[in-house]
Chains A and B, each alone.
Chain A
Amino acid sequence: AQSVTQLGSHVSVSEGALVLLRCNYSSSVPPYLFWYVQYPNQGLQLLLKYTTGATLVKGINGFEAEFKKSETSFHLTKPSAHMSDAAEYFCAVSDYQGAQKLVFGQGTRLTINP
């Protein structure tokens, strides 16, 4: 079975500071990994994903993530936080059982301090 662990249910950074949201996964097959963002009272939207190829993946809004197989990690970073980045972030691993099955981590709430 596949699983995802997000370290830190709540991360708080100052505006302009580095954002680092941690994600570790467990997968019996080569993992397909996703980061989704959920703004208040909205549905989720994709930030970025890793399937195959380059291990450093760039996404929307200046976010990027690096797949590290040896560390079973897929941490999300952004060099400089903006107030608009305040949201809930979910890491997910993808399985396929006749249809895609996303297994989500617990989520990390990102707060930006002015």
Chain B
Amino acid sequence: DTAVSQTPKYLVTQMGNDKSIKCEQNLGHDTMYWYKQDSKKFLKIMFSYNNKELIINETVPNRFSPKSPDKAHLNLHINSLELGDSAVYFCASSQDGRAETQYFGPGTRLLVL
């Protein structure tokens, strides 16, 4: 019973293509997040959604567009992929609140050629 799942696990694509990553959580959490982990393992938040509403939008290029069809799902669509988009993208979820534990998915490894 996977708590936070992501698909696909690996994504290899050409520059200029458009791709999507899907995330689902079965923990009943209100808040979901997207993080980017670069090649040096640095982890940075991109977006967070609370009850399907976009709350946090860090300085991310507008080629990245998150969508939350319901509380359990948060997808990430990336247009016109660039070499610098190559990274591991993690989805996470938590209850709402500053002290809450975030539960992370296994990650999607994106390689742009």
Q: Which residue of B lies closest to A107 (CB)?
A: B41
Complex-state Cα separation, A23 to B100, whole angstroms = 20
Interface string of B92-107 (1 = CB under 8 A from A): 1010111111111111
Is A99 in contact with B96, judged by CB distance below 8 angstroms? yes
Q: Which residues of chain B have C-beta atoms less than 8 A from A94's C-beta?
A: 98-99
* B contacts with A, residue count (CB < 8 A): 29
Q: Is the interface of B mostly helix, strand, loop or mixed?
A: strand
Is B44 in contact with A100, judged by CB distance below 8 angstroms? no
Is B50 in contact with A49, judged by CB distance below 8 angstroms? no
Which B residues from 1 to 59 make CB contacts under 8 A with A? 4, 31, 33, 40-45, 48-50, 55-56
Which A residues from 38 to 62 make CB contacts under 8 A with B? 38, 41-46, 49, 51
Complex-state Cα separation, A94 to B100, whole angstroms = 9
Q: Which residue of A lies closest to B90 (CB)?
A: A43
**Chain A: residues with CB nearer than 8 A to chain B?**
32, 34, 36, 38, 41-46, 49, 51, 88, 90, 94-102, 104, 106-107, 109
